[in-house]
Amino acid sequence: MDTAAQKTLVPGNVHAGGEAGRSSRPAPSLSDSFRSTRALSLALAEHLSDADATIQSMEDASPAKWHLAHTSWFFETFLLRDHLPGYRLFDERFPFLFNSYYEAEGQRIARFSRGMLSRPALDECIAFRRAIDHAMESLLGREDCAPLIALGIAHEQQHQELLLTDIKHALFQNPLGPAMFDRLPDTPQHKGEGWIEHQGGIARIGQDCADTRFCFDCEGPRHRVLLEPFRLSRSLVSNREWAEFIADGGYRDPALWLSDGWAWVNREGVEAPLYWHGDDHFTLAGWQPRDPDAPATHISYYEADAFASWAGKRLPTEAEWEVAAADADPAGGQQMDRAETVQPAATPDLFGSCWQWTRSAYLPYPGFSPAEGAVGEYNGKFMSGQFVLKGASCATARGHSRPSYRNFFYPHQRWQFTGLRLAQDI
């Protein structure tokens, strides 16, 4: 967990499903989840050269091999070191290189310097992973380790998404437009029609994590909210609609923008979503024609808010989104099943394709308290200046998200698969 995907597990019943939006898919065992998650990360790396896996395009991003090693450091530090008697670190230098921001775990390399790590090479990072996987087999059946293993799996799934979005941003800097994958997946567009309406009233959101398979501490406690009547679009805003916004001068009209957003647009020279150029856009398969019916993605909170103003609508609150998604399948929609399936597609599902901005600040719920210990460092202290996104994206491992899940980013950030679903007062 390294940017806004930073959340902490609250240990609970690691065998049960979530409270809302249960999937009909059978839940794999913890051991199977561990092995499949670790294998998927390596499958992503198969497409990268050592040079690809080493570069860092900006401070918000990290090199691909750093993600591979950091997720292994997590299992080594919080499970093998602390729970496997006699375990010796794979390399005593690695904690300094691959700790992200855990103050309790000591000093670490500066985040903006991760791209300077020409050594260890990608092959060495993979060897580190394999050694950790072998050692972890001794702990997979231990019930006392199950909550931390579940956290490690969720943590690695977050880094899989970050690895994909970070390498996409890095490859985009190359004027040759290199591709990570040979082609885009076949993703036919099936746009949802109409609105999901809710008559308002008192609703309950969040999770009491002691009753669920797991959740991050920021998702609870479960609590009451008062909603006014609202409707939520069944479809994400499309590339076609976004092109209309651009053609109508959306990026040139200060009346549509928040003050900070208007300053950002002018300072950065923003004229379109990230990765757009003419009728093409940059993808993990290189430059491709842009599908007008696919969801618009790689947009900032500022852009989402301006588009909503232009459309005469607004962004949903996180409570509205969660209540609307209470009976939805969180494993539905366009999400990542294997390495080559990463591309947004229009679907009638609330989950998938791209994370959806809400107008809600990322703040603690009533009664929130961070988890104890080092793994509790990285949640409450990030509750400042960021906005909540709901759902899942095409780069989210299927089964990772749920209605109560709270992703969060700063309002100017847009290198993630972020999009927009409109809301309206009734």
Q: What is the pLDDT of residues 137-175, one digit of tens each?
A: 999 999 999 999 999 999 999 999 999 999 999 999 999
Average pLDDT for residues 400-407, to the nearest whole number? Answer: 96
Instruction: Say how many domains are in the chain.
Output: 2
As a whole number of angstroms, the distance between CA 60 and CA 213 comes to: 30
As a whole number of angstroms, the distance between CA 154 and CA 1 comes to: 9
- Do residues 290 and 255 share a domain? yes
- Do residues 149 and 61 share a domain? yes
The answer on pLDDT for 22 being more than 60 is: no
* DSSP secondary structure string for all residues of 28-63: PPHHHHHHHHHHHHHHHHTT--HHHHH---STT---
* Spatial contact of 177 and 117, defined as CB atoms under 8 Å apart: no
Domain boundary among 172, 203, 231: 172
pLDDT score recorded for residue 16 = 28
Answer whether residue 376 is part of any domain.
yes
- Do residues 394 and 308 share a domain? yes
If you search the block for the tokens 């939805």, which residue do you land on? 328
- Do residues 394 and 333 share a domain? yes
H/E stretch holding 277 = strand 276-277
The CATH number of whichever domain residue 371 belongs to comes to 3.90.1580.10
* Spatial contact of 358 and 421, defined as CB atoms under 8 Å apart: no
- Do residues 280 and 394 share a domain? yes
Answer whether residue 416 is part of any domain.
yes
pLDDT score recorded for residue 238 = 97
Could you give the 3-state DSSP secondary structure of residue 239? helix
Condensed to tens digits (0 to 9), the pLDDT of residues 258-271 reads 999 999 999 999 99
- Do residues 315 and 235 share a domain? yes
Average of per-residue pLDDT values in the chain: 91
Answer whether residue 1 is part of any domain.
no
Reported residue count of the chain is 426
Q: Which of 187, 139, 230, 219 is nearest to 342 (CA)?
A: 187
- Do residues 285 and 164 share a domain? no
- Structural domain boundaries enclosing 95: 9-172
Confidence category of residue 378, pLDDT binned at 50, 70, 90: low
* Spatial contact of 386 and 409, defined as CB atoms under 8 Å apart: yes
Residue 110 CB-density burial (10 A; 0-12 exposed, 13-18 middle, 19+ buried): exposed
- Do residues 338 and 211 share a domain? yes
The tokens for 276 are 């757009």
- Do residues 222 and 154 share a domain? no
- Do residues 267 and 352 share a domain? yes
As a whole number of angstroms, the distance between CA 308 and CA 294 comes to: 18
Phi-psi region of 348 (alpha: psi -120 to 50; beta: other; left: phi over 0): alpha
Answer whether residue 308 is part of any domain.
yes
pLDDT score recorded for residue 5 = 38
Cβ density class 234-244: b for 16+ within 10 Å, e for less: bbbbbbebbbe
Ramachandran angles phi, psi of 78, nearest 5°: -90, -10
- Do residues 151 and 217 share a domain? no
